[in-house]
């Protein structure tokens, strides 16, 4: 059976990872959440006090990049891979609103992007991969057979992210979650290096009013054209 590359891009909390995970499980493909990689670099910078409330030392972060090792380790119980930063499982720590507050600024740095994009391309060199992010169809795998671009209204997205965080016991306010979603979209769309944009040949899916099942069926139909 022919293996393909599936690139899924879109704004924050559009349900990219939900579709990507379901697809990967169904097809027996590898799933890579590239947002987790940018989040882990941001967590490292926070831990090392390279970034913080009133400082953001870009040059120091670039210098430290060789000391940052990222690895996805498959968790059989969960059915997906978890992010390890320098050998430590940081899956929980990278999903906080604090990390979300810095990650888009870290992702603006070209040196950070170059390092992560190279690793992403390496992971996908044998195809049979579903990767989600912001620049997968445009920069990481411009030749991907199937490119999806997910959208949903900001309110729908903020509600989803709020529900996720609350379910994990994070005491957050809906307004700060909404503000973070809007702010990240703004930075991600306007940055110089690899801005978030729909690839010309990507198929747009607005899932504001789609159930999980409806969305999955629609995507599977698209996949079946290639495999
Ligand atoms: O996907 P997630 O919301 O976890 O991504 C967090 C942030 O990482 C994004 O808002 C964006 O700034 C950055 N990112 C990126 N390129 C990717 C994936 C994520 O710039 N391919």
Average pLDDT, the chain: 95
The number of the ligand 1 atom at minimal distance from the alpha carbon of 135 is: 21
The number of the ligand 1 atom at minimal distance from the alpha carbon of 36 is: 4
The answer to whether the CB of 40 is under 6 A from ligand 1 is no
pTM surpassing 0.90? Answer: yes
The pLDDT > 90 percentage for the chain reads 84
Give the Å distance between the CA of 104 and the centre of ligand 1.
Answer: 7
Q: What is the distance between the alpha carbons of residues 41 and 80, in angstroms, rounded to a whole number?
A: 20
Torsion of CA 225, 18, 157, 148, to 10 degrees: -20
Whether residue 15 is annotated as binding a ligand: the answer is yes
Examine the pLDDT at 1 and tell me if it is beyond 80: no
Give 35's pLDDT tier (boundaries 50, 70, 90). very high
Q: What is the distance between the alpha carbons of residues 30 and 35, in angstroms, rounded to a whole number?
A: 15
Examine the pLDDT at 150 and tell me if it is beyond 80: yes
pLDDT at residue 82, rounded to an integer: 96
pLDDT tens digits, 91-100: 999 999 999 9
Give the Å distance between the CA of 213 and the centre of ligand 1.
Answer: 25
The answer to whether the CB of 188 is under 6 A from ligand 1 is yes
Q: Which residues of 93-123 are buried (b: 16+ CB within 10 A; e: fewer)?
A: bbbbbebbbbbbbbbbbeebbebbbebbeee
- Given a contact cutoff of 8 angstroms between Cβ atoms, the answer to whether 50 and 94 are in contact is no
The pLDDT > 70 percentage for the chain reads 100
Mean pLDDT, rounded, for 73-87: 93
Give the Å distance between the CA of 138 and the centre of ligand 1.
Answer: 14
- Given a contact cutoff of 8 angstroms between Cβ atoms, the answer to whether 200 and 120 are in contact is no
Most informative mutation of 11, 103, 182 for ligand 1 (most atoms within 8 A of CB) = 103
Beta-ladder partners of 89: 84
The H-assigned helical ranges of 28-173 are 34-47, 58-64, 97-106, 110-123, 154-167
Whether residue 100 is annotated as binding a ligand: the answer is no
Question: Which residue's entry shows tokens 């747009």?
Answer: 204
The answer to whether the CB of 68 is under 6 A from ligand 1 is no
- Given a contact cutoff of 8 angstroms between Cβ atoms, the answer to whether 199 and 137 are in contact is yes
pLDDT at residue 79, rounded to an integer: 85
pLDDT at residue 226, rounded to an integer: 86
pLDDT tens digits, 171-209: 899 999 999 999 999 999 999 999 999 999 999 998 888
pLDDT at residue 155, rounded to an integer: 87
Closest by CA position to 31, among listed 44, 40, 41, 22: 22
Domains of the chain by start residue, with CATH = 5-219 (3.40.50.300)
3-state secondary structure at position 77: coil
Asked if the interface predicted TM-score (ipTM) of this complex is over 0.95, the answer is yes
pLDDT at residue 142, rounded to an integer: 98
Q: What is the distance between the alpha carbons of residues 39 and 96, in angstroms, rounded to a whole number?
A: 10
């Amino acid at each position: 059976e022919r293996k393909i590359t599936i690139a899924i891009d879109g704004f924050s909390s559009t349900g990219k990872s939900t579709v990507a995970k379901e697809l990967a499980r169904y097809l027996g493909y590898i799933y890579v959440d590239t947002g987790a990689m940018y989040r882990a670099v941001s967590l490292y910078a926070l831990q090392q006090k390279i970034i913080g409330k009133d400082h953001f030392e870009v040059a120091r972060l670039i210098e430290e990049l060789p000391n940052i090792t990222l690895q996805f380790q498959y968790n059989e119980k969960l059915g997906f891979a978890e992010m390890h930063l320098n050998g430590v499982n940081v899956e929980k720590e990278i999903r906080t609103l604090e990390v979300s507050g810095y990650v888009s600024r870290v992702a603006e740095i070209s040196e950070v992007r170059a390092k992560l994009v190279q690793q992403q391309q390496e992971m996908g060199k044998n195809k049979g991969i579903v990767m989600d992010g912001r620049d997968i169809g445009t920069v990481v795998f411009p030749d991907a057979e199937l490119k999806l671009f997910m959208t949903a209204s900001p309110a729908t997205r903020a509600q989803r992210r709020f529900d996720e965080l609350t379910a994990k016991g994070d005491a957050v306010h809906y307004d700060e979650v909404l503000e973070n979603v809007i702010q990240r979209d703004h930075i991600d769309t306007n940055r110089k290096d690899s801005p978030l944009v729909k690839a010309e040949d990507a198929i747009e899916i607005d899932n504001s009013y789609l159930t999980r099942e409806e969305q999955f069926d629609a995507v599977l139909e698209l996949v079946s054209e290639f495999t």
